[in-house]
Amino acid sequence: MNDRIRELEKQIQQLRTDTRVLEVADEARTKAKPVAGYQDGFFLNSPDGKAFKLKLGGYVQADSRFALDEKDNPTVDSFSLRRARLDFRGTVGELFDFRILPDFAGSTLVLQDAYVDHKFAPWATLRVGKFKTPYGI
C-alpha cells in the first residue's frame, strides 16, 4: 500500500513539473516579438516563422523626355510613371498564402494580382482571385 502511495505521489509531482514547463513555454511564446528585416524585400514574420509571414516589395518604371534648348516650347519635356507597383505577399498559418499587387501608375488604381491560395497537400493547391494565367502562347 505504501509503495502505491509513493508511486502516485511521484506521478503527481511529475504532472506538476510538466504543467509548470508548459506554463513557462506558453509565457515565453506570448512574450515573443515578431521578427522583421530585409532579405529580397522587407518582411515581417511571427516569432516561430511559420504561423504568419508578410513580405513587402515593389517596383517602379518611369519614362521621361527632356529636350535641350527648347525654351520656347516647354511642353516637349515630360515625366511619367508607367508602372508603380507595391507587392504584398504573405502566409497565414500553414494552409493559406495570399498576394496583392496593385498598380498606382496613371490616374487609376489597377489590381494586377489579388488572390488566395489554399494548400490542401504539397501537390494540391487551390487558387482563388485575380491572377495571370500560368501558361500562354
CA-CA-CA-CA torsion sign (36, 116, 50, 23): positive
Per cent of the chain over pLDDT 70 is: 90
Residue-wise pLDDT for 31-89, tens only, equals: 667 788 888 788 888 877 778 889 998 888 888 887 776 667 666 677 787 888 889 99
pTM: 0.65
Burial 29-57 (b: 16+ CB within 10 A, else e): eeeeeeeeeeeeeebebbeeeeeebbbee
